[in-house]
Amino acid sequence: MTGKRSRFLLTMLCFGMAFLYIPIILMMIYSFNYSKLVPVWGGFSTRWYTTLFQSEEVWAATSLSLKIAVMNATFAVMLGTLAGLALARIHRFRGRTLFTGMISAPLVMPEVITGLSLLLLFITLNQMIGWPASRGITTITIAHITFSMAYVAIIIQSRLAGTGQDLEEAALDLGAKPFRVLWDITLPQLAPGMVAGWLLSFTLSLDDLVIASFVTGPGATTLPMLIYSRIRLGLRPDINALATIIILVVTIGVLLAGWIMLRQQKQLANRQ
C-alpha cells in the first residue's frame, strides 16, 4: 500500500470517528457544566450528578431498568444457549434452515415492528387468558428476552460451529451419557460465550427505548424512557449526567463482552 493512500484512509477514519464520538464527548463534558443552560459553559462542577442522585424518579427508573436487564440477560442466556445448541448440534432436523433464519430475524426486524407485534400479542393474551393482567416490568422483560435471546443463540451457534464434535464424541466414547457430556464438556466450552451473551443482553436491555415504550404500562418507566420524556421538555444538564453514566456502564459491558469473546477465539486458535 502506498503512503498516500494509507494517509487518505487514515484521514477518512479520523473523520468517521470524529463524527461518531464528538457529540458523545461534548455531552460528557457538558455534564460537568455548572451552568443551567446547556450550551453555555459556566465552569466545572458535579452538581448535576448530585441532583441526579437526589431525584427519586431517577432512582426508580434506574432500579427498574437494572431489574429488567438482569432478568432479561439471565433468561436470554438460558434460552439462547439451548437454541444455539439445537441449531449447531442436532443433525438435519426438519425445518432447520427455516429455524436458523427465524432466530436471526429479530436482529434485523425494525424495532417499531417488534414492539408493535409484541404489544398486540400481550393484548390478545390478556383478552384470551387474562395474562398478563397489566403491562409493566413483566411484559418489558419478555419483550427484551425475545430479541436478546437471538443474539445469544447466534454467539453460541458460531462458537459451536467452529469446533466440531470431537470433544463430545470423545467423552461419549469414554462412557459419559449424553447429558453428562453436555454438562462436563459442552457447557464449559460455552461458558465464555454465555458470559459474553449475558453482558450483551444486559446492555441491549439497558439501551432499549422503542420496544419498551410499546409494551410498557402505567407506572413502569425505564431509564431511557425517563430521559426521553425529560428531553422533550428541553435540554437539561442533569440528563447529560445520567447519559454519561449510562454510556460508561454500556461501554464497560460491551468491552468486557468483546474481550471475553476475543480471548475465547484465541483459545480456540491455540487448540488447533
Partner 1 sequence: MTQDSPYPWREEGATPFIKIEGLSKRFGSFTAVDDVSLDIFKGELFGLLGGSGCGKTTLLRMLAGFETPTSGSIFIDGADMTHVPPYERPVNMMFQSYALFPHMSVEKNIAYGLKRDGVNRSEISDRVAEMLKMVELSEFGRRKPSQLSGGQRQRVALARALVKRPKVLLLDEPLAALDKRLREQTQFELMNIQDQLGVTFVVVTHDQEEAMTLSTRIAVMDAGRFIQIGEPAEIYENPASSFIANFIGSANLLPAKILERHGGVAVLEHSGSKRQFKVATDSTQVGDTPTLAIRPEKILIDKAPLNQCDNQLQGTVREVAYLGKISTYRVETDIGEIIEVTAPNQVRPTGVGHKIDWDDSVHLGWNADSAVLLAE
Site for partner 1 in 141-180 (CB under 8 A): 164, 166-167, 169-177, 180
Q: Which residues pair with 44 in a beta bridge?
A: 33
d(CA 224, CA 58): 10
Q: Which is nearer to partner 1, 211 or 261 (CB)?
A: 261
For residue 176, the minimal CB distance to partner 1 (Å) is 5
- Please give the grid coordinates belonging to residue 181: 457430556
d(CA 184, CA 197): 20
Binding range to partner 1, per CB under 8 A, among 182-190, 203-211, 222-230, 254-262 = 182-190
* Residue 110 DSSP SS3: coil
Position 271 contacts partner 1 (CB under 8 A): yes
φ, ψ (nearest 5 deg) of residue 33: -85, 135
Distances from the Cα of 169 to the Cα of 27, 38, 181, angstroms: 54, 63, 9
Is residue 103 classed exposed, middle or buried when 0-12, 13-18 and 19+ CB atoms within 10 A define those classes?
A: buried
- Please give the grid coordinates belonging to residue 87: 441449531
Q: Which is nearer to partner 1, 36 or 263 (CB)?
A: 263
- Which of 60, 79, 86, 185 is the binder for partner 1 (CB under 8 A)? 185
**What value, to the nearest 5°, has the Cα angle with vertex 196 and ends 21 and 167?**
145
Position 96 contacts partner 1 (CB under 8 A): no
For residue 82, the minimal CB distance to partner 1 (Å) is 21
Binding range to partner 1, per CB under 8 A, among 7-15, 59-67, 102-110, 181-189 = 181-189
d(CA 122, CA 209): 18
Contact string 199-238 vs partner 1 (x = CB under 8 A) = ----------------------------------------
Position 195 contacts partner 1 (CB under 8 A): no
- Please give the grid coordinates belonging to residue 225: 424512557
For residue 270, the minimal CB distance to partner 1 (Å) is 5
Position 267 contacts partner 1 (CB under 8 A): yes
Site size toward partner 1 (CB under 8 A) is 20
Place of cell 397489566: 134
DSSP run (H or E) holding 105: helix 96-108
Q: Which is nearer to partner 1, 181 or 212 (CB)?
A: 181
Position 260 contacts partner 1 (CB under 8 A): no
Residues that bind partner 1 (CB under 8 A): 164, 166-167, 169-177, 180, 184-185, 188-189, 267, 270-271
